[in-house]
Amino acid sequence: MSESLLVPCPHCNALNRVPEAKLDDDGRCGRCKQALFSKSPLHLTETNFTVHAAQGDIPLLVDFWAPWCGPCRSMAPAFTAAAGVLEPWVRLGKVNTEEEQGLGARYAIRSIPTLILIHRGSEIARQSGAMGAEEIRRWALAQLGRPAS
């Protein structure tokens, strides 16, 4: 029997129980009926951050960025591309540190872009500096102890 995971909906933030073996079966939210995985980063705010970072069973890779940051803007397409490859095994989200200063302070963000990998509310790893899509994918999988092949 496969283990069930709690998967927060990227649209309404409802928690959905999904068998691990069916994560990549294009599941839909039980509440809003929208796709549980969109293959693109979530816009994270104080309102939805905790449900995705602490209540769900899917690891969350967060890009802390700001609109005025050149390296952040140049990494954005790579981060989106990485979401297309890493989901449904890793959820990707973005925190605009200008809009969400509380989240930036909570995670002691000193330079941007900074990637933080969080699983069940605990920080697993962090990496500062812009990276390409393949670099992001390999780094995240390595931190989770999964093969990057």
Residues catalogued as catalytic = 69, 72
Spell out the residues 6+ positions from residue 82 whose beta carbon is closer than 8 angstroms to its own: 61, 92, 133, 136, 137, 140
Tell me the C-alpha distance between 124 and 103, whole Å.
Answer: 17
For 65, list phi and psi in degrees, rounded to 5.
-145, 175
- Identify the DSSP state of 20: G
Tell me the C-alpha distance between 39 and 23, whole Å.
Answer: 13
For 91, list phi and psi in degrees, rounded to 5.
-90, 140
